[in-house]
Amino acid sequence: MIGQLIIEGLAIGACYGLFAIAVVIIYKTSEVVNFAQGEMAMLSTFIAFHILNYYHYPFWLAFILTMAFAILLGVLIEFLFLRPAKHPSLLGLIVITLGAEMLLMGLAGWKWGAEQKEFVVPMSYQVTHEPFQGMIINDWAIAVFVTSALVMVLLFLFFKYTKLGIAMRATQQNKHAAKIMGIRVERVFSIAWGFSSLIGTIAAMFFASRSTLDPGFMLEPFLRAFAAAVLGGLMSIPGVFIGGELLGLIENFFGYVWPEWKPIVAFAVIVLVLCFRPSGLFAKHYVKKV
């Protein structure tokens, strides 16, 4: 029983971690918590649903087209909503992302309706395997583990060895110095939003295939991913993924013992971490002197 709880907790935690990475990529480059992150991923997942059910394309072709749409959507949101704001305050940026969230949710409701829909992927939640006695793992969990490991490796290679990845790291550390060095900071912001939208959409497709698809289905996953990001540390990509895994385990064990209290675990984690370690478990807390 404990082994099964660990597997299930790690699988859903990997989804939280993937989505938390999407949140952190934007935060690291522009110091904005994007509250439209869930709805960007939701709209892209509806695009995949539309391609699969109305055009009957193979899943992998639909996946590639959806990823292209997700990148374009992220770039457009940054270009149309964030970039026109001249010297906005942090609160102003948050309000802008909240406005984008409402707009995208309304657009999805207008186009596809508010009814819950089934989102089917090849990695079925129903197909199970028993690698060890009494321990069951399904195709969905295997796909989550493989995908999250692949994303982490690619992100490590991207940020360490590519010029664009190094430019994004430089922009995160000091925007003004990056501009002086010739880095086009605005372009870096757009690319970060596109990158973030792509990774968030991958996680959202896993969430939708596990439950149902509707305009509000990413509200709870976003809150849990944000809790994972706070737990791991908003400035550490490996940290937020580990935070997602920890949250998945905590939530799964807590839900097994007290199922009626399971929905509040993410909020309790946010409050406790902010009270006792605001920088998170795997990030350093910097104090600026002025």
Q: Look at residue 288 and tell me if it is in a domain.
A: no
CB 9 within 8 A of CB 251: yes
User: pLDDT-based confidence at 59, cuts 50/70/90?
Assistant: very high
Would you say the C-alpha torsion 146, 148, 151, 155 has a positive or negative sign? Answer: negative
Average pLDDT, the chain: 89
Q: Look at residue 286 and tell me if it is in a domain.
A: no
Task: State yes or no: pLDDT of 74 exceeds 90.
Answer: yes
**Residue 289's pLDDT is what?**
46
CB 34 within 8 A of CB 26: yes
Q: Look at residue 198 and tell me if it is in a domain.
A: yes
Task: State yes or no: pLDDT of 14 exceeds 90.
Answer: yes
CB burial readout 221-244, b (16+ within 10 A) else e = bbbbbbbbbbbbbbbbbebbbbbb
Q: Look at residue 287 and tell me if it is in a domain.
A: no
Angle between helices 219-232 and 37-54 (to 10 degrees): 130
Task: State yes or no: pLDDT of 248 exceeds 80.
Answer: yes
Q: Regarding beta strands 135-138 and 128-132, do their DSSP bridges make them parallel or antiparallel, or are they unpaired?
A: antiparallel
Residue 277 region by backbone torsions, left for phi larger than 0, else alpha for psi between -120 and 50, else beta: beta
* Candidate from 65-69, 117-121, 265-269 with smallest mean pLDDT: 265-269
> How far is the C-alpha of 84 from the C-alpha of 44, rounded, in Å?
24
Q: Look at residue 53 and tell me if it is in a domain.
A: yes
pLDDT tens, position by position, 106-164: 999 999 999 999 998 888 777 788 777 767 889 999 999 999 999 999 999 998 899 98
Task: State yes or no: pLDDT of 288 exceeds 60.
Answer: no
The whole-number average pLDDT for the span 69-81 is 95
Q: Look at residue 152 and tell me if it is in a domain.
A: yes
Question: CATH number of the domain that 158 lies in?
Answer: 1.10.3470
> How far is the C-alpha of 264 from the C-alpha of 98, rounded, in Å?
22
Environment class of 91 (CB within 10 Å of its CB; exposed 0-12, middle 13-18, buried 19+): exposed
pTM score, whole prediction? 0.92
The boundaries of the domain holding residue 84 are 2-276
**Residue 175's pLDDT is what?**
84
Q: Look at residue 215 and tell me if it is in a domain.
A: yes
Look at the chain and report how many structural domains it folds into. 1
Q: 51: how many CB neighbours lie within 10 A of its CB?
A: 20
DSSP letter, residue 117 = B
**Residue 19's pLDDT is what?**
96
Q: Look at residue 284 and tell me if it is in a domain.
A: no
